[in-house]
Structure 1
Amino acid sequence: MPLRATDNPLVLPLLGLLLEQPRHQYALLTDLRERYGMRVRTGSLYTLVGSIREAGWIEQTDSNRTPSGDKASPAVFRVTPAGQDEFSRRVVVDLTDTDPANATRFVTALAYIGILDRATARATLDARIDALEQHAQEWEQSIETSGLPPIYMIEADFMASQTRHDIAWLERFVQRISDPDEAWPADTPSTR
């Protein structure tokens, strides 16, 4: 459990959803559950939205909400410029973090890589590739120097193989990013 609410791994997808379009809290909850399969409690989400609002990363878009029937319409939130900066920073951090325990964070950040300009995206993924290459070499070295029959090092063999697969995929993706004919969201002026 993070010590600060703003360290919660849900912050990245929340900011990402709000960058796509302003939403009210229940829509955020629904989208987190449906798009990411996250099991999020309503109270936890509302508390986290309050925390990222206090951090200055989101703001309410409708300060003069009009009542609808007996109830006021729900508050709608959007990302602030500071929130956009924080979102980009988190995408880079989560894309370069090679800790297997944070694999879900990597996949979520990968979904938003288009927020980065091409050069930053390439540099970020190149840094991940370099770190993964080091991990793969360490796994392979441990197999070679163990002196054990291969079956006793099967987990190291699996990790080395999986890491090599990830490296190959990332290298292909970096090539796609490098192709100026490949559509890239950050190259397109925003219409918002």
Structure 2
Amino acid sequence: MPLDASRNSLVLPILGLLAERPAHAYDLAGRLRERCGHLPVTRSTVATLLKSMARAGLVTARAPGRVGNRPPRTVYETTEAGVAGFHRKVAEGLRDSPAASMDFVLAVGYAGVLPAADAAVILEERAARLGRAAEVPARGPLEAGYWHGLITAEIEWVIDLAARIRAGEHVWDESPAPLPTTANA
């Protein structure tokens, strides 16, 4: 895990899941495995990240509660700062994450929390940045061909997605937990 826990790829989907509804680490780990099966998810990692996120003010912990015969579990929920951080991480993931990265894939999954016009602009900026990156030669001919194909495919997909968003062809509900309009200003 990175020294800065906020850089862990699981932080974005944890905030997204908590924006949907408060949950304890065990529940979150299960939901993460369902939705992000491609990421290594353990309950201990989720619990550690939740504690770190609580110290950073992104989530808050309720007093541990007991359901039936189960041991007491601490339920976490997002704070205002957590919702704002979630939106910021989605925008940063769409704009700044490396090509073909899991951070980009995770951000795409939550792009709907951003205003549609903002998401389209961010994606167009990403396509332009990736276009510049595609001009950097790779070390060998196979690597260069692979990299060029990968970047070209992502650029085309991102441009198409931005165009579909602008045309209103993509369902855009700006959920979960959109920021209030005044916070977007």
Q: State the TM-score bracket (shorter-chain normalisation).
A: 0.7 to 0.9
Distance 2:97 2:176 in 1: 30
Task: Name 1:48's counterpart in structure 2.
Answer: 49
- C-alpha contact (below 8 Å) 1:88/1:115 kept by paired residues: yes
Distance 1:29 1:64 in 2: 17
Task: Name 1:146's counterpart in structure 2.
Answer: none
Distance 2:141 2:88 in 1: 37
Shift of 1:172: 0.9
Runs of 4+ in 1 over 3 A off after TM superposition: 62-65, 67-73, 187-190
Shift of 1:136: 1.9
Shift of 1:72: 5.9
- C-alpha contact (below 8 Å) 2:64/2:75 kept by paired residues: no
Distance 2:40 2:169 in 1: 39
Q: Of 113, 120, 123, which aligns to 1:122?
A: 120
Residue type matched to 1:85 in 2?
Answer: A
Task: Name 1:157's counterpart in structure 2.
Answer: 145
Q: Once structures 1 and 2 are overlaid, which stretch shifts more, 1-10 or 87-96?
A: 1-10
- C-alpha contact (below 8 Å) 2:121/2:162 kept by paired residues: no
* Structure 2 spans left out of the alignment, 5+ residues: 179-185
Distance 1:44 1:164 in 2: 35
Q: Map 1:7-86 to 2 at 5 A.
A: 7-37=7-37, 38-60=39-61, 62-63=62-63, 65=65, 67-69=66-68, 73-86=72-85
Task: Name 1:104's counterpart in structure 2.
Answer: 102
Structure with the largest fraction of helix: 1
Matched, 1:174 2:162: yes
Residue type matched to 2:27 in 1?
Answer: A
Larger RCO of the pair (alpha carbons < 8 Å, separation 6+) = 2
Change (3 A) 1:104 1:76: same
Give TM-score, length-normalised by structure 2.
Answer: 0.83
- C-alpha contact (below 8 Å) 1:24/1:76 kept by paired residues: yes
Distance 1:94 1:132 in 2: 14
Shift of 1:124: 1.1
Bigger radius of gyration:
1
- C-alpha contact (below 8 Å) 1:98/1:131 kept by paired residues: no
* Aligned length, in residue pairs: 177
Change (3 A) 1:126 1:14: same
Residue type matched to 2:158 in 1?
Answer: L
